C-alpha cells in the first residue's frame, strides 16, 4: 500500500493506522485489509506477525505482539477502556475526569495465536505459545503454552514440537543466507 511504506511489512488496502509514529515494526509482517490501529502509545509488532482482516488495536497504553504470533480476523486488543461499573460514565465526548478510564499495557508473547473475533482487555499478558479460541473474551493473564477458550484453559499446546519446528526454520534461514538466497515473505 502506498500510504504506509515500511520495509519488510506488507500492508493491504483500506488499512487505517493512526499514530504511525508510535509503532515499532519488525520484519516479515502482514497487515490485511480493513485493519485499524490506533496508537496513542508505543505498539511493537514483532517479526513474522500476521494481523488478519478487521482486527482493531486500541493503544491507549502500550501493546506488544511477539514474533511468530497471529491475530485472526476480527480480533480486538484494547489497552484502554472506560469504566462501565463504578462512577465513570460517558464516552470520549466528555472530559476524562467523568469517565474514569482504565489504561494498562497488553502483551502478547511469541508464538501466540489469537482466534477470530476475540477480545483482549487492558492489562492482559498472553504467555508464550498460548492460543485463544475464536470469540473469546480474555480478561486476565494466560499461562504459556495453554489452549484457552476465554480465560479457561482447555488443553496444552505442543511446546516441544513448536520449538523443534522453530529450530528447523532458523537452520533453513541460515542455510539460505549462507547460499545468498532470499528468505521470508519478501523475497527479492
pTM: 0.92
The total of other beta-carbon atoms located within 10 Å of residue 167's CB is: 9
Residue 188's pLDDT is 44
Residue 145 in contact with residue 159, Cβ under 8 Å? yes
pLDDT of 141 reads: 98
Instruction: Tell me if 22 sits within 8 A of 40, measured CB to CB.
Output: yes
Q: Which CATH class is domain 9-157?
A: mainly beta
- Lowest-confidence pick of 77-81, 94-98, 134-138: 94-98
The strand pair at 113-114 and 70-71 is best described as: parallel
Give residue 6's Cα distance to chain centre.
17
**Percent of all residues in the chain with a pLDDT value above 90, rounded to a whole number:** 77
| Helix, strand, coil tally for the chain in percent (to 5) | 15, 30, 55
**Domains in the chain: boundaries:** 9-157, 158-188
Amino acid at each position: 500500500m502506498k500510504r504506509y511504506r515500511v520495509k519488510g511489512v506488507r500492508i493491504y488496502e483500506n488499512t487505517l493506522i493512526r499514530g504511525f509514529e508510535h509503532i515499532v515494526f519488525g520484519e516479515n509482517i502482514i497487515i490485511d485489509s480493513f485493519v485499524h490501529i490506533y496508537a496513542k502509545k508505543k505498539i511493537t509488532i514483532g517479526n513474522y506477525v500476521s494481523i488478519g482482516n478487521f482486527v482493531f488495536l486500541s493503544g491507549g497504553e502500550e501493546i506488544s505482539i511477539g514474533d511468530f504470533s497471529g491475530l485472526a480476523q476480527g480480533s480486538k486488543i484494547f489497552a484502554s477502556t472506560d469504566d462501565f461499573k463504578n462512577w465513570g460514565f460517558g464516552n470520549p465526548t466528555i472530559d476524562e475526569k467523568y469517565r474514569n478510564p482504565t489504561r494498562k499495557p497488553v502483551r502478547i508473547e511469541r508464538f501466540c495465536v489469537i482466534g477470530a473475533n476475540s477480545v483482549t482487555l487492558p492489562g492482559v499478558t498472553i504467555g508464550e505459545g498460548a492460543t485463544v479460541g475464536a470469540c473469546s473474551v480474555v480478561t486476565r493473564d494466560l499461562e504459556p503454552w495453554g489452549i484457552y477458550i476465554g480465560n479457561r484453559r482447555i488443553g496444552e499446546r505442543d511446546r516441544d514440537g513448536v520449538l523443534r519446528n522453530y529450530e528447523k526454520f532458523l537452520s533453513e534461514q541460515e542455510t539460505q543466507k549462507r547460499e545468498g538466497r532470499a528468505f521470508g515473505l519478501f523475497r527479492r
